[in-house]
Amino acid sequence: MPKHHISLVVNGKKVEADVEPRMLLVHFIRDVLGLTGTHVGCDTTNCGACTVILDGKAVKSCSLFAVQADGKELLTIEGLAKDGQLHPIQQAFWEKHGLQCGYCTPGMIMTSYWFLRKNPNPTEEEIRNAISGNLCRCTGYVKIVEAIQYAAKLMQSKELKK
Amino acid sequence: MYPAPFEYFAPKSLDEAISLLEKYKEEAKVIAGGQSLTILMKLRLARPKYLIDLNKIPGLEYIIESNEGIKIGAMTRMNDIAENELIRKTYPIIHDAAINIADPLVRNMGTIGGNLCHGDPGNDMPSVMIALNAVYTVKGTRGERKIKAEDFYIDTFQTALEPDEILTEVFVPKPEPKNGSAYEKIKRRVGDFAVAAVGASISVDENLRIKKIGIALTSLGPKVLKVDTSGLIGSVANEDTFEKVGELSYKTAQPSSDIRGPAEYKRDMAKALTIRALRLSLNRILGK
């Protein structure tokens, strides 16, 4: 099959590659770019471990082909921390211990990143609905929800300081 | 999991997409949001040789209101439909269904056109569109044609689309002044297909007599099923009438037993959900 030349921006840097059409975006991210923070969980669009931000929207990267990301802007978990400083959402997951094994965490954080930009001051119900496409098999979601609530506060106070 | 190899095209116009379909016919598959097709390809249940991606074609994502109704572009994402204020107020059944499809991440990619054309009897939007008397616009090598939602679904994964045709728009007529609609769905968990679901839309006169009624069933047969409710026109919209409509749904349903439950249970749910959807529709008319 003819390969396709793609060019996209990943975590702020321009990336170019030749990809086979059937290469999934998640494999491109992990195997070609070496960014292994994006995980493969169920591989069938259920679990959300592979969640990334594509052109501002949280999507499941196991359900898209890399060739479809041509010309787009991609943000992965590796792109969140700036100058050695954790992003407020990462900070919140750390402080509130919003994880146990950590497998679902990058996906949870990327979904939160998309969601909190749309809804900076969410209710608990809205948070639970927002992460309904991200499965955690260790926790009962309680600490994850707390972490996202705390992240919302951190992000708002950061906004206020500006 | 990798799909079988395929050749990929990202046409920049509908005409280009249609000429690719004309060239490759049944060996080609159109991809919209890809939230069903990509997974089927990964599981190797679908093996198209040629994949024609509609995502680079401009002008297919829109929600436009007119005096006659609303037009929704085929590539409009499910979340954009779920969050649309006009749809929530005027066509609550569409909102009800949209917020219950899969999960928010899938809805960021998933499109109305994909949901309508996939042909899975578990897709939610077909019932909604049948209940609302919607009309689809499809485009192919012989030009454009309109197909009523109720005539579109032929069998499991079979629709009225010809191999060279693409759905471009769905038109939903403006409801009568006293109209209420609702979508009731039972699912085992977030993200799952419906165990059973029912879409309902009713319009009534000042005396609450039914002027128009549309009922359709999701996950209750080999394809989405329209319930013939023509005998109920003129009846007063009340619990007795809803019970009768529920009976009609019970008789129309052709469910099969599977991991989501036995056929007998699903048939009972066809009735129960019909009554619930009608009750909610009436409450919406009455502003309750």
The answer to whether the CB of B127 falls within 8 A of the CB of B217 is yes
- Stretch B64-71: mean pLDDT: 96
pLDDT for the residue numbered B245: 98
Question: What per-residue string of b and e applies to B31-57 under the rule 16 or more CB within 10 Å gives b?
Answer: bbbbbbbbbbbbeeebebebbbbbbeb
Q: Tell me the average pLDDT across B24-52.
A: 97
Query: Does the pLDDT of residue B1 top 90, yes or no?
Result: no
Q: What is the per-residue pLDDT across B195-242, written as a single tens digit (0 to 9) for each?
A: 999 999 999 999 999 999 999 999 999 999 999 999 999 999 999 999
Residues of A in contact with B190 (CB under 8 A): 132-133
**DSSP assignments along B121-132, one per residue:** TT-SHHHHHHHT
The whole-number pLDDT of residue A1 equals 77
**Complete domains list, chain A, with CATH:** 4-79 (3.10.20.30), 88-161 (1.10.150.120)
The one-character DSSP state at B83 is T
Between CA A102 and CA A143 the distance in angstroms is: 12
Residues B173, B68 contacting (CB under 8 angstroms)? yes
A124-147 pLDDT, tens per residue? 999 999 999 999 999 999 999 999
Give the containing element (helix H, strand E) for B274: helix B263-286
Answer yes or no: do B6 and A1 touch at CB < 8 A: yes
CB B214 within 8 A of CB B200: yes
Domains of chain B: 7-53 (3.30.43.10), 63-173 (3.30.465.10), 179-283 (3.30.390.50)
Q: What's the pLDDT score for residue B191?
A: 84
A48: chain B residues, CB-CB within 8 Å: 103, 105
Tell me the pLDDT band of B190, cut-offs 50, 70 and 90.
confident
CB contact under 8 A, B8 and A21: yes
> What is the structure's pLDDT at A162?
63
pLDDT, tens digit, for every residue of B256-274? 999 999 999 999 999 999 9
First-to-final CA distance of chain A: 51
Taking the Cβ of residue B1 and every Cβ of chain A, the question of whether any pair is shorter than 8 Å is answered with yes
Percentage of residues of chain B with pLDDT beyond 90:
98
Q: Do A20 and B34 count as a contact with CB atoms less than 8 A apart? A: no
Selection from B52, B76, B14, B18 nearest residue A65 by Cα: B52
Instruction: Report pLDDT for B23.
Output: 97
Phi, psi dihedrals of residue B181, rounded to the nearest 5°: -150, 155
Is the pLDDT score of B2 beyond 70?
Answer: yes
Which residues does chain A have with pLDDT short of 70? 162
B257/A contact by beta carbon, under 8 A: no
